[in-house]
Amino acid sequence: MRLYTHPACLQHDTGPGHPESPARLRAVLEALDDPCFADTERMEAPCATREILLRVHDAAYVESIFANEGHSLRLDPDTVMSPASLEAALRAAGAVCAAVDDVMDGKTQRAFCAVRPPGHHATRDTAMGFCLFNSVAVAAAHAIERHGLRRVAIVDFDVHHGNGTQDIFWNDPRVQYLSSHQMPLYPGTGSRNQRGAGNIVNAPLPPGADSNEFRAAWDEILLPALDAHRPQLLLISAGFDAHRNDPLAQLRLDADDYAWITQRLRALAGTHAQGRMVSALEGGYDLTALRECTIAHVAAML
């Protein structure tokens, strides 16, 4: 298994008091220093190119982000650019694409990308929800264009719905998007009747939902749909903010739930995708919970 990260992702400065802080990635990297991950191969994330980004983002939007390199500004009330943010976002998207290349080329079977900023709220033409480029969406399009895949799946268990990923692949049946998330909650999308071209499967959970409701949603709705899609590659938007201690939402999961869902996903990847599985960090804002959940998730991938 390989781990992809880059020091530039720590330089994305969101300002004092912002929940999406460099301390999050430091906590994740500290968790991955656990001796149980000693055999994990550490890889330096490359920068994504404009060409790769343009597979899912509008050209004017990409150019606007590049034009703000070296500046500090708010793109919306929650989403910040600092002088180092462009490189961090390029490394984040580049990490997931490099991981896809390596699993498709047989250099590794599974990979985890410890990167920030997160990505799943970024739409084709809008930065939002702490996200600049939609790294997992970029990687899915890369898998199709470079490796000729016909069926890719993106699984998202972040507590917030990945509206950007859903938006990007709304009319593309080659990419299945499956999400469990709290509703109502930011960004307000993700109802069950949002189906795209039949490739969107949402399982919203009410505030206060616990392990039983989370696991039932996956067992009864999401995993059967994933199995039916028979993905040739499985991508994961790994947000850990559905943990009971997370300050930004009200679901009540524990680290064991992330181990459970990862084991189930690994089994399906083994059945349909020759075990090929790439996960990328999204949310998770309680640092202790973030460490515990990262260990549970990555250990279950190993």
Q: How confident is the model at residue 284 (pLDDT cuts 50, 70, 90)?
A: very high
**CATH code, domain carrying 42:** 3.40.800.20
pLDDT in tens, 22-80: 999 999 999 999 999 999 999 999 999 999 999 999 999 999 999 999 999 999 999 99
pLDDT in tens, 78-126: 999 999 999 999 999 999 999 999 999 999 999 999 999 999 999 999 9
Positive or negative torsion for Cα 147, 152, 158, 160: positive
Percent of the chain predicted with pLDDT > 70: 100
What residue has token string 């524990």? 254
Helix (H) or strand (E) holding 5: strand 2-5
Number of domains comprising the chain: 1
pLDDT in tens, 144-165: 999 999 999 999 999 999 999 9
How far is Cα 193 from Cα 204, in angstroms, rounded to an integer? 11
DSSP-based three-state secondary structure for 20: coil
| Cis-peptide, bond into residue 184, ω within 30° of zero | yes
Active site residue 121: yes
Percent of the chain predicted with pLDDT > 90: 100
Check residue 273 and give its pLDDT.
Answer: 98
DSSP-based three-state secondary structure for 26: helix
Which of 6, 120, 121, 160 is catalytic? The answer is 121
Check residue 8 and give its pLDDT.
Answer: 98
For all residues of the chain together, what is the average pLDDT? 98
Residue 142 domain boundaries: 2-301
* Nearest residue to 179 via CA among 270, 242, 243, 93: 242
